[in-house]
Amino acid sequence: MRYVAFLSRLPVGPQAVSMDTLRKLFMKLGFLDVEPYLDTGNIAFETRPVGVIGPLEAQISRHLKNHIDADIWTFIRTPEELARISAHEAFLREELDSNAGATFIVFLPEPLSARAERQLRMQRSPSDVLHAKGTEIYWIRRTADGGAATPPPVITELLETRATVRSARTVRVLSEKYGPVVRSSSKQAEKSP
């Protein structure tokens, strides 16, 4: 079965790990058809189907820590999950129409607690529109002057949980490359967080 791993906290600068090195480390775990996408820690691979993703994420994180001496977090999604995430309409049309920035997807290890959801709602501002659904947060990041959007603030500090952020475009490309086409079954989100 095909899975896509999103890695967080990879070393940067002189200690940066090449995607080829990551590919080889994934292959050492016995994974097949290992394919990095971009240089940001997105790795598609095949292995036998697993019922619970958490142990597989932990296995990859431990393996990477042992070989590159960094506390890496791993977030795995199936192609079907990527298609669902990509198709989800998290924002009202007017929120999208007034967007002068970019949209990000925040991957979480588990759904947010009620307390963390309240913290997330308090972060809503003219610059940030946030919507949590399941194990993802959909985030519009705007700029005041119409310039380039900056990446979201460090979500792990905000919510006190592990997380990693990817652009919605990256998720859409990975979904199109590996996943089935999924049509959104709901209308535009009727409420905003």
How many folded domains does the chain comprise? 2
Q: Are residues 120 and 135 in the same domain?
A: yes
119 and 61 within one domain: no
Q: Are residues 124 and 156 in the same domain?
A: yes
Helix or strand holding residue 24 (H, E): helix 19-28
Widest distance between CA atoms in the chain:
49
| Domain co-membership, 50 together with 96 | no
For residue 121, give the amino acid letter: R
* CB atoms inside a 10 Å sphere around CB 159: 21
Residue type, 70: A
Q: Specify the range with the lowest mean pLDDT, choosing from 23-32, 78-87, 140-149, 178-187.
A: 178-187
Q: Are residues 66 and 31 in the same domain?
A: yes
Residues 166 and 92 in one domain: yes
Structure tokens at 47: 């292995």
Q: Are residues 71 and 94 in the same domain?
A: no
Per-residue pLDDT, 37: 93
Residues 72 and 122 in one domain: no
**Statement to judge: residues 105 and 126 lie in one domain:** yes
**Structural domain contains residue 187:** no
Alpha carbon distances (Å) from 26 to 154, 187, 188 = 27, 39, 38
DSSP secondary structure of 130-193 = EEEETTEEEEEE--SSS-PPPPPP-HHHHHTS--EEEEHHHHHHHHHHHS------S-S-SS--
Considering the domain boundaries, does residue 188 fall inside one?
no
Last residue of a domain, which of 77, 104, 137?
A: 77
Domain that holds residue 164: 82-178
Share of the chain above pLDDT 70, in %: 82
Two tokens, residue 188: 């535009």
Q: What is the DSSP letter of 13?
A: G
The domain that holds 153 is classified in CATH as 3.30.70
CATH assignment at residue 43? 3.30.70.1280
Residue 146 within a domain: yes
Final residue belonging to a domain, choices 77, 97, 113: 77
* Confidence bin at 185 (pLDDT 50/70/90): very low
Same domain, 68 and 134: no
pLDDT (tens digit per residue) in 16-47: 899 999 999 999 999 999 999 988 899 999 99
Read off the pLDDT of residues 72-125 as tens digits, 9 standing for 90 and up: 999 999 999 999 999 998 887 766 665 556 889 999 999 998 888 888 888 877
156: Cα separation from own chain's centroid:
13
Do 117 and 53 sit in the same domain of this protein?
Answer: no
pLDDT at residue 191 is higher than 60: no
Same domain flag for 67 and 117:
no
Token pair of 51 as six digits: 């019922």
CA-based torsion, 45, 81, 134, 106: positive or negative: positive
Find the angle CA(178)-CA(181)-CA(57) to the nearest 5 degrees: 40
